[in-house]
């Protein structure tokens, strides 16, 4: 037969939380929940940004494909401008510019044709952010 003392019975029956421990847990949970909810609601408000980025990148890649379909020496579309030329994106909300410039094989600017052209397409979204797409084409 197993004998237990009064002290052992008291310690076995006292396994719950005290009122103070429960209040501390509620306060800490309230602080943590507010720290989580504030950034979450801020992220929800700015949730249109991925759509804007996707649209801007679509316009940039579309223009890049238009420019890259021509032969390196084709004068009208691949002529070196040196500066940015504005083009229509097809949307009044987005503006587009492209530049075609001579570069060396280390991608530094060149004043003469050494066989490489860098094409840069820049799209500006309605919020004022810009997105750049680069490509280098070669005559070789």
What's the pLDDT band for 74 if we cut at 50, 70, 90?
low
50 has pLDDT over 70: yes
The pLDDT value given to residue 131: 92
Domain-wise residue ranges, the chain: 50-138
The pLDDT value given to residue 8: 55
Domain 50-138 falls in which CATH fold?
A: 3.30.1300
Residue 59: CB atoms within 10 A of its CB come to 23
The pLDDT value given to residue 105: 87
What's the pLDDT band for 115 if we cut at 50, 70, 90?
confident
Q: How far apart are CA 138 and CA 77, in angstroms?
A: 15
87 burial type by CB count under 10 A (0-12 exposed, 13-18 middle, 19+ buried)? middle
The pLDDT value given to residue 56: 92
Q: How far apart are CA 126 and CA 49, in angstroms?
A: 10
Q: Considering only residues 74 and 101, tell me which one the structure prediction assigns the higher pLDDT.
A: 101
């Amino acid at each position: 037969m197993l004998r237990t003392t009064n002290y052992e019975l008291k310690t076995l029956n006292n396994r719950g939380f005290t009122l103070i421990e429960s209040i501390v847990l509620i306060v800490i949970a309230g602080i943590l929940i507010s720290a989580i909810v504030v950034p979450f609601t801020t992220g929800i408000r700015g949730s249109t940004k991925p759509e804007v980025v996707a649209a801007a990148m679509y316009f940039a890649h579309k223009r890049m494909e238009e420019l890259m379909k021509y032969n390196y020496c084709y004068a009208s579309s691949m002529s070196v401008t040196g500066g940015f030329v504005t083009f229509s994106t097809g949307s009044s909300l987005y503006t587009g510019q492209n530049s075609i410039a001579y570069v060396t094989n280390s991608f530094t600017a060149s004043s003469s044709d050494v066989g490489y052209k860098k094409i840069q397409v820049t799209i500006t979204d309605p919020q004022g952010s810009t997105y750049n797409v680069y490509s280098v084409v070669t005559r070789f």
